[in-house]
């Protein structure tokens, strides 16, 4: 019984990254839809500056178009709210 109390807690395998190439390999196995979902999560912390115009990542919309991921500005954020 005491052995279980002092037993080292095992870290889930998904968190044990021994080499950065493992991340690249994992990303390569993801579908475009999985990659798009990851982009949506990461974009919250990204600022895009294109032709002098700054766009926050959370203002972007990421969708799968054929064999590519398309990033567009979210049109809904630019329009005034009907609830006001």
CA quadruple 12, 15, 71, 78: dihedral, nearest 10:
80
The burial of 69, by beta-carbon neighbours within 10 Å (0-12 exposed, 13-18 middle, 19 or more buried), is given as middle
For residue 6, is it within any domain? no
For residue 83, is it within any domain? no
Quick one: pLDDT band at residue 84, thresholds 50, 70, 90? Answer: very low
**Number of domains within the chain:** 1
- Mean pLDDT in the chain? 80
pLDDT tens profile 19-47? 888 888 888 899 999 999 999 999 999 99
Report which of residues 79 and 44 the model is more confident about: 44
Q: Specify the pLDDT at position 45.
A: 93
For residue 50, is it within any domain? yes
Q: Specify the pLDDT at position 16.
A: 72
Range of 37's domain? 20-78
């Amino acid at each position: 019984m005491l052995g279980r109390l002092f037993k080292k807690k095992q870290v889930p395998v998904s968190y044990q990254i021994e080499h950065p190439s493992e991340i690249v390999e994992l990303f390569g196995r993801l579908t475009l839809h999985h990659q798009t979902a990851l982009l949506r999560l990461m974009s919250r912390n990204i600022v895009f500056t294109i032709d002098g115009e700054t766009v926050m990542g959370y203002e972007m919309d990421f969708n799968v178009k054929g064999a590519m991921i398309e990033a567009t500005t979210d049109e809904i954020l630019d329009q005034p709210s009907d609830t006001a």
